[in-house]
Chains A and B, each alone.
Chain A
């Protein structure tokens, strides 16, 4: 069973995403901020990250950049989440190495489809 790490400081979103991912058949780990996310990546070795940009402390972009600079996580599929929804953030996220980008509010169905698609690309 593929493992998804959900990183967001908004508990309602984490609750919903955790539920939806489990419903879709994934194992789910959660983190509330950037520090926890980096620790959790090392500990639980997720197959995919749902990473919010606006996190307390280390920002989502910072987490993304650090993961991409490590050989072990350079290829880890990462989907960025943001409530800002500005084109420039999407561009920045993709430039720093994100695999996809989703703006809040989002369609849960399309999110699940994107997660499945990325994981199937990784594990054919």
Chain B
């Protein structure tokens, strides 16, 4: 397929020097023999010696001329052609020289023609795509502002599209990603069943599915007129479901005993009324019994009523509008609402999670702070979270006196006009099954307003909000071959590829060196997805040698608290899904991630072997040389970072792809054969 072309430079030079040397040595021996035999003198002797050396000298001189005038220009031409195939805009560092100089105009013509053709194609493509782009932009805007989590999958259940709301909704679930199977995101048998039975007219079907300790309500629709594509929208039904099955069910179950106890109580009271005029000895014992019944039933009723009160509080806390909130986010949102220009509230103490209706609480505190500001102009506030039993206390602290209860009572009646239906402050408190009070601090200087709210079991700060996604859809996924088709016959362009790289404590992986950073990115439809990345530091559970830190800049402090390798590899395996792996010098990285607990029994593409196979005669197949050869840029500071190197490896793959196709290497099977060949040759020459 790709054998042939120039032999390796060192081999040619070696052969040339060897031939020249043998000829010169042979000439010298021959001249010495003749000199001894014939004993010539003068000019004859000089001619004899010169004649004997002429063969070797000719071979040396011809070789020198060929190297300068033919082989060096040919090698430069090879590099130039490789660049040209990757991109017609590549630098023209070595115009044809030597005996190939005459090809200069032809090569320029080829380059210009290709550039013109490419530009013409690009213009046509841009014209055709402009209207589609406008529609896509409108769609993207719509999807990004849509608060409903939404996914679109093709008829093979591969994700073609998802919006920001879906990314937030499934935060931390590695099954979400373009090209990934829906089963990886939601491994629920009933979902597969509903998908296979969806009506073709687009009418919806509903499903309640468990996922990550939540109950998700999923609405599925087949997109009418499509090739079996399905639209899925999600909502968290945990609160309503648990309320339905939990508190409401318990409340309903309490009705029967309440009726029974009430019946006993009223019957006993009626009996006592009828016994009031009968004072004989026989009725005295009876009266005492009925009195005891009333006493016991009263106590039982009291217990039941207390239990109902508790259940109603629980139900309030499970309300759908009460969502988890991180206290620092809450104070910040409140501050921005109060005065976008100035900071009024300083969060103090440890931040924590709590449950609340954020817009209602912000409106409530907004009203309160404005109320306080009339008494305490230009006063700053501190916001503190205090932890209690099953509760957290949202405390607003200021320098000054506590607010008297009668003022709070007036303030409770204030309408919160910024909220729908204009509830009062008291309504919002009732919604949270809470109340508010004000206390002077023990320091005699500060006072605080305290609002208890349901606590959350969650710990740790919220993860940072993902930046807007550059790619959140790829409709080309629907044109990919079915996932169950043998990988071997898949075209290289249609492969889902995960390019990865590792940074390690050293190069002696078999002697205890191990991974400290693992980075990866995804290539789908021959397109590098900018944000679908995996970037994780690893705790190597051993010190990082300074020599190693000098290369990648990662110190012991950087990996402090990072998960160990087995956990990172499990996450990485989830991230890889059904993709094919790609690495530069894959043997090293594969050894680095080989771990008895996590299997990577999937094909791996190695850009080092491919480059060697394509350009055997050229030197320099390391990532730096190849990045320079193909004009691939490392963004500043990303060289020798796992993610940075993984990205450049992916870009290198995309540059090599047209060259592979030009040589008839179209399928994974053919590529793996080419790699194996290059590996064998490398092995043989080693």
Please give the residue numbers on chain A whose beta carbons come within 8 Å of chain B beta carbons, in ascending order: 58-59, 61-62, 64-65, 84-89, 91-92, 95-96, 103, 105-107
Are A87 and B313 within 8 A (Cβ)? yes
Are A88 and B309 within 8 A (Cβ)? no
User: Looking at the complex, which one of A61, A65, A86 makes contact with B309 (CB distance below 8 Å)?
Assistant: A86
Are B405 and A59 within 8 A (Cβ)? yes
Return chain B residues, CB-CB under 8 Å to A92. 435, 437
User: Looking at the complex, which one of A86, A96, A106, A107 makes contact with B313 (CB distance below 8 Å)?
Assistant: A86
Known A86-B313, A95-B439; judge A58-B434 contact (CB<8 A).
no
Known A59-B409, A62-B405, A105-B301; judge A91-B309 contact (CB<8 A).
no
Instruction: Quote the shortest CB–CB distance from B425 to chain A (angstroms).
Output: 15
Return chain B residues, CB-CB under 8 Å to A58. 406
List the count of A-B residue pairs having beta carbons below 8 Å apart.
Answer: 45
Instruction: Quote the shortest CB–CB distance from A23 to chain B (angstroms).
Output: 15
Taking CB as reference atom, which chain B residue is nearest A89? B435
Are B298 and A96 within 8 A (Cβ)? no
Q: How far is the CA of A92 from the CA of B298 in the complex (A)?
A: 27
Are A105 and B305 within 8 A (Cβ)? yes
Asked if B433 is at the interface (CB within 8 A of a chain A CB), the reply is yes
Are A84 and B309 within 8 A (Cβ)? yes
Instruction: Quote the shortest CB–CB distance from B272 to chain A (angstroms).
Output: 16
Contact with A along B422-463 (1 / 0, CB 8 A): 000000000001110101000000000010100000000000
Known A88-B433, A88-B435; judge A62-B409 contact (CB<8 A).
yes
**Known contacts A61-B405, A103-B306, A106-B302; 13 further A-B pairs (Cβ under 8 A):** A62-B404, A62-B405, A85-B306, A86-B313, A87-B313, A88-B434, A91-B452, A92-B435, A95-B437, A95-B439, A105-B298, A105-B305, A107-B299
Contact with A along B403-417 (1 / 0, CB 8 A): 011100100000000
What are 7 A-B interface contacts by the 8 Å CB criterion?
Answer: A58-B406, A61-B437, A62-B404, A88-B433, A91-B452, A95-B450, A105-B302
Return chain B residues, CB-CB under 8 Å to A65. 404-405
Taking CB as reference atom, which chain A residue is nearest B390? A87
Return chain B residues, CB-CB under 8 Å to A62. 404-406, 409
Of A85, A88, A89, A105, chain B has the most CB atoms within 10 Å of the CB of: A88
Instruction: Quote the shortest CB–CB distance from A66 to chain B (angstroms).
Output: 8
Return chain A residues, CB-CB under 8 Å to B435. 86, 88-89, 92
Instruction: Quote the shortest CB–CB distance from A58 to chain B (angstroms).
Output: 7
Ranked nearest first, the 6 interchain pairs of A and B with the lowest CB-CB distance are A105-B302, A62-B405, A85-B309, A65-B405, A92-B437, A61-B405
Interface residue range, chain B? 10 to 19
Q: How far is the CA of A61 from the CA of B438 in the complex (A)?
A: 11
Return chain B residues, CB-CB under 8 Å to A91. 452
Instruction: Quote the shortest CB–CB distance from B392 to chain A (angstroms).
Output: 12
Instruction: Quote the shortest CB–CB distance from A8 to chain B (angstroms).
Output: 17
Taking CB as reference atom, which chain A residue is nearest B452? A88
Taking CB as reference atom, which chain B residue is nearest A87? B313
Instruction: Quote the shortest CB–CB distance from B387 to chain A (angstroms).
Output: 14
Of B305, B306, B404, B405, chain A has the most CB atoms within 10 Å of the CB of: B405
Taking CB as reference atom, which chain A residue is nearest B406? A62
Please give the residue numbers on chain B whose beta carbons come within 8 Å of chain A beta carbons, in ascending order: 298-299, 301-302, 305-306, 309, 313, 404-406, 409, 433-435, 437, 439, 450, 452
Return chain A residues, CB-CB under 8 Å to B437. 61, 92, 95-96
Return chain B residues, CB-CB under 8 Å to A86. 309, 313, 433, 435
Are B301 and A96 within 8 A (Cβ)? no
Taking CB as reference atom, which chain A residue is nearest B389? A87
Q: How far is the CA of A66 from the CA of B452 in the complex (A)?
A: 23
Return chain A residues, CB-CB under 8 Å to B406. 58-59, 62
Instruction: Quote the shortest CB–CB distance from B279 to chain A (angstroms).
Output: 22
Q: How far is the CA of A92 from the CA of B409 in the complex (A)?
A: 14
Q: How far is the CA of A106 from the CA of B301 in the complex (A)?
A: 10
Taking CB as reference atom, which chain B residue is nearest A60? B405
Taking CB as reference atom, which chain A residue is nearest B402? A65
Instruction: Quote the shortest CB–CB distance from A2 to chain B (angstroms).
Output: 26
Return chain A residues, CB-CB under 8 Å to B306. 85, 103
Instruction: Quote the shortest CB–CB distance from A34 to chain B (angstroms).
Output: 9
Q: How far is the CA of A64 from the CA of B408 in the complex (A)?
A: 14
Instruction: Quote the shortest CB–CB distance from A69 to chain B (angstroms).
Output: 8
Instruction: Quote the shortest CB–CB distance from A31 to chain B (angstroms).
Output: 18
Are B404 and A107 within 8 A (Cβ)? no
Return chain B residues, CB-CB under 8 Å to A87. 313
Q: How far is the CA of A58 from the CA of B434 in the complex (A)?
A: 20
Of A84, A89, A105, chain B has the most CB atoms within 10 Å of the CB of: A105
User: Looking at the complex, which one of B305, B405, B409, B433 makes contact with A96 (CB distance below 8 Å)?
Assistant: B405
Are B305 and A85 within 8 A (Cβ)? yes
Q: How far is the CA of A99 from the CA of B313 in the complex (A)?
A: 24
Q: How far is the CA of A4 from the CA of B434 in the complex (A)?
A: 31
Q: How far is the CA of A88 from the CA of B309 in the complex (A)?
A: 12
Q: How far is the CA of A86 from the CA of B317 in the complex (A)?
A: 13
Return chain B residues, CB-CB under 8 Å to A103. 306, 309
Return chain A residues, CB-CB under 8 Å to B409. 59, 62
Return chain B residues, CB-CB under 8 Å to A89. 435
Taking CB as reference atom, which chain A residue is nearest B307? A85
Taking CB as reference atom, which chain A residue is nearest B436? A92
Return chain A residues, CB-CB under 8 Å to B302. 105-107
Instruction: Quote the shortest CB–CB distance from B226 to chain A (angstroms).
Output: 53
Return chain B residues, CB-CB under 8 Å to A59. 405-406, 409
Q: How far is the CA of A63 from the CA of B658 in the complex (A)?
A: 85
Q: How far is the CA of A87 from the CA of B317 in the complex (A)?
A: 13
Q: How far is the CA of A85 from the CA of B405 in the complex (A)?
A: 20
Taking CB as reference atom, which chain A residue is nearest B302? A105
Q: How far is the CA of A91 from the CA of B450 in the complex (A)?
A: 11
Return chain A residues, CB-CB under 8 Å to B313. 86-87
Of A86, A89, A107, chain B has the most CB atoms within 10 Å of the CB of: A86
Q: How far is the CA of A85 from the CA of B301 in the complex (A)?
A: 14
Taking CB as reference atom, which chain B residue is nearest A62? B405
Instruction: Quote the shortest CB–CB distance from A62 to chain B (angstroms).
Output: 4
Taking CB as reference atom, which chain B residue is nearest A61? B405
Return chain A residues, CB-CB under 8 Å to B434. 88
